[in-house]
Amino acid sequence: MIDWSQCPGVERNPAKVSGAWLFKGTRVPVKALFENVEGGATVDEFLEWFPGVSRAQVDAVLEHAQRSLEMA
């Protein structure tokens, strides 16, 4: 399991979206990125569909996930 607490682009608040990891400053769950990409969406499409999320946040999430997998 990935430790998202070390990723600068995300936050967790028990009062928002049932405590899911969210893109910082939004109500968009991090898992939405992975679900959309797994479903065939591009990062550009994801950013278009979720305008509150920045490319820098997506890049931070993807880099964090990659580093976490390399360490596993």
Give the predicted TM-score (pTM) of the model. Answer: 0.92
Q: What's the CA gap between 25 and 13, in Å, rounded?
A: 11
User: What band does 63 get if pLDDT is binned at 50, 70 and 90?
Assistant: very high
12: exposed, middle or buried (Cβ count in 10 Å: 0-12, 13-18, 19+): middle
pLDDT digits (tens, 9 = 90+) for 3-58: 999 999 999 999 999 999 999 999 999 999 999 999 999 999 999 999 999 999 99
* pLDDT at residue 71 greater than cutoff 90: no
- Go through the domains of the chain in sequence order and give each one's CATH number: 4-71 (1.10.10.10)
Residue 3 CA, distance from chain mean position = 12
Query: What integer pLDDT is reported at residue 21 of this predicted model?
Result: 97
